[in-house]
Structure 1
Amino acid sequence: MNKDQREGLKEELKGYVNKGIGSITGNEDRKVKGEVQITNGDNRKDLGDQEDSIDRNAIDPGNPSNL
Structure 2
Amino acid sequence: MNKDQKEGMKHQIKGWADTAIGTLTGNEDRMVKGDVEITNGANQKDYGDQKDNIEKGVEDPGEPTNQ
Following TM superposition, the consecutive aligned residue runs of length 4 or more in structure 1 with deviations greater than 4 angstroms are none
Q: 1:35 to 1:44 in 2, by over 3 A?
A: same
The C-alpha deviation readout for 1:24-59, integer Å capped at 9, x for no partner, is 000000000000000000000000000000011111
**Aligned residue type for 2:56:** R
Match of residue 12 from structure 1: 12
Match of residue 22 from structure 1: 22
SS state of the match for residue 62, structure 1? coil
**Aligned residue type for 1:50:** Q
Match of residue 51 from structure 2: 51
Match of residue 61 from structure 2: 61
**TM-score w.r.t. length of structure 1:** 0.94
Structure 1: segments with no counterpart, 5+ residues: none
Partner Cα distance (1:47, 1:53) in 2: 10
Match of residue 42 from structure 2: 42
* Per-residue deviation, 1:64: 4.6
